Each structure stands twice: as structure tokens, then as C-alpha cells.
Structure 1
Amino acid sequence: MAGWWRALRHAARRFPWPTNVLLYTGLYSAGDALQQRLRDGPADWRQTRRVATLTMTFHANFNYAWLRLLERALPGRAPRVVLTKVLCDQLLGGPITLSAFYVGMSILQEKDDIFLDLKQKFWNTYKTGLMYWPLVQSGDGTLQSAFAFLHRKEADVGGSHPGE
């Protein structure tokens, strides 16, 4: 397992954009397939393929560029800076990605009214996201940042603490 993580870290450092796009696409697609499974419905691979298409063509690219822009515009990890980045992401990035998801999926599903799902689902999804995403966001949003966080956690677990 350590070799796999090492290879992924190397790929993320060497090819950050394509690695992030592929990981985003894999995670979104797996999430869609898992949601279908949890609902006890039959697998709808066409739906999962649409999610993968939308993620690969828009979401992964937008998130990669957007989070890098935020990090460049607001560098650092001081609490005030992190809070500002999270607020910018929730007030600007969140609505853009949600809107693109609902409209994009409607286009790929060939719906007559491509804005209907957006109108019906946006606010509930946005409010739910406001309760979840600010709690899990950290770093600059890149895979390298996630690996740095994981590496710190591994070092904390593996190290000895005084008094133990």
C-alpha cells in the first residue's frame, strides 16, 4: 500500500493537473455508482458515464484552477486566511459548480428544460454543502496538499508522545 501512495504522490507532483482530473473523475463516478447501489436500484452505467463526462470536462478542471487561484490570491494557512478562502469558495465556487452540475447533467440527459433540476434542487444542495464542505476544506485543494496532510497524520500516529 505504501508503494501505491508513493507512486500517486510522485504522479501528483510531476503531473498535478491530469492526476487531479483523473482522481476527481474516479471519485465522482464511484460516488454515483455507490449512491445507486445504496438505493438498491439496478446499476445505471449510462448515468455514471454522464457523471464522469461532466466531471472530466468541467468540474475537475474548474476545481483545480479555482482552488489554485484562491491559494495564489490568498496564500498561507493562518486561520483568517483559511477562513477567507473557505468563504470565497462557498460564496463563489460552490454556486458555480452546483449550477454547472445540474445544468450539465440535464444537457447530457437530453432534458427539455435544462434549468428545471437547477431550480428545484439548487438551494437544498447548496445549504447541505454549506454544512459539510467548510468542515473538510484545508490546504490549497490540490492532491499534494492532501498528501502533506496525510503524511503529517501518519507521522503523528507513528511517533511517540511524552508520557506514554
Structure 2
Amino acid sequence: MNKLVQNFRRILDKHPLISNSVIYGSLCVAAEFTQQTVTRKVLDSPSKPYDLETIGRYSVYGTTLAGPALTVWYRFLDKKFVGTATKIVIKKLLIDQFFFTPQLLVVFYISMSVMERKSDIFEECRSKFVQTFKTSCMFWFPAQATNFLLVPPTFRVTYVGICSFAWVNILCWIKRQSS
């Protein structure tokens, strides 16, 4: 197991943008697949097929937009605010949640609307942003406190990706709600 972790760390260190993007994109796909399994297979009808176009959109979002953005963002935060002192962690938490997260949520809703070919690509963002941001604060403050206190920088995006599996399930659920 130790050798597996060492190899994983070596890949993340050598190719952080590509590996983090693939990991994050895969976890986004897994979250949407989980949501569809619950909503389509358990709550609706077991014979209802999976919506592969929607799963594809989460793949595009996670791999080409969120994964790279998170990689660059955490690299920046770790260089700008070094350490795990309480004051540093609080700064990172606040900057992450109130500066970066709103932008990432806007990118999520607008990119999904573009990929869904909606006529008003801003409508869903306008109607769901506040609820999504509030939910994000409740979910991400404790998750990011753990991240900034305990997780080595090399594993930050992977850790966030694992947390995001739960978060994207929440996001998928919010997105499915009527505006």
C-alpha cells in the first residue's frame, strides 16, 4: 500500500494538472452516475436508461474546467499563504469560500447551460446561485478546514475531489430542482 501511495504521489507531483483534472473529472462523473442511479433506477423506474449526455457534461466540466482551475487555485493559495497556523487556515478558508467558490459556481451553472444549449444561459445561475452558495458554505467550511490543516499540498485537489464526490451529488440534486 505504501508503494501505491508513493507512485500516486510521484504522478501527482510530476503531472499535477493532468492527473488532478482526470481525477476530478472522474469523480464528477461518478457523482452524476450515483445521482442517476438513485433518481432513475431507485425512485423512478429500474428500466429507465442512464442519461449519458448529462454524464458527459459532468465529465467535460470536471476534467476541462473545474479540475484545472482547482489545481491552479490551490497551488496559488499554498504559495501565498504558507503553513497551517490558525490565522493562515482561516485566511485560506475565507478567500477560498468567498472569492473562488462563487466564481466556480457561476462557471458550473453557465457551462452546464451552454452544454445543454439553453436559450438563457444565465437563468439557472440566477435562480439557484444563492441556495447553492449557502449549501456550499455549510459543506465546504469543515471540509476545507481539514484540507488546509491536515492534507499535504500534493494531495489537496485529490482530497477536494473526494469531498467533491459528495458535494457534486448535492450539486446534481440542486441542479435537478426546478428553478
Same fold by TM (over 0.5)?
Answer: yes
Q: Say which of 91, 101, 109 aligns to 1:94.
A: 101
Paired with 1:120 and 1:64, the residues of 2 have a C-alpha distance of 28
Q: Which structure's residues are more often helix, by fraction?
A: 2
Higher Cα Rg: structure 1 or 2? 1
What value does the CA root-mean-square deviation take over the aligned residues?
2.2
Whose relative contact order is higher, 1 or 2, with alpha carbons under 8 Å and at least 6 apart? Answer: 2
Query: TM-score, normalised on structure 2?
Result: 0.75
The answer as to 2:136 corresponding to 1:136 is: no
Paired with 2:25 and 2:158, the residues of 1 have a C-alpha distance of 18
For structure 1, which runs of at least 5 residues remain unmatched after alignment? 149-164
Q: Which amino acid aligns with 2:143?
A: V
Paired with 1:5 and 1:38, the residues of 2 have a C-alpha distance of 32
Q: CA deviation at 1:142?
A: 4.6
Q: CA deviation at 1:141?
A: 8.0
Matching of residues 70-89 of structure 1 within 5 Å = 70-89=77-96
Structure 1's consecutive aligned runs of 4 or more residues displaced over 6 angstroms after TM superposition are: none
Identity of aligned residues (%): 28
Matching of residues 1-164 of structure 1 within 5 Å = 3-41=3-41, 42-137=49-144, 138-139=147-148, 142-145=153-156
Q: Which amino acid aligns with 2:89?
A: V
For structure 2, which runs of at least 5 residues remain unmatched after alignment? 42-48, 160-179
Pairs aligned (count):
148
Q: What SS class does the counterpart of residue 54 from structure 1 fall into?
A: helix
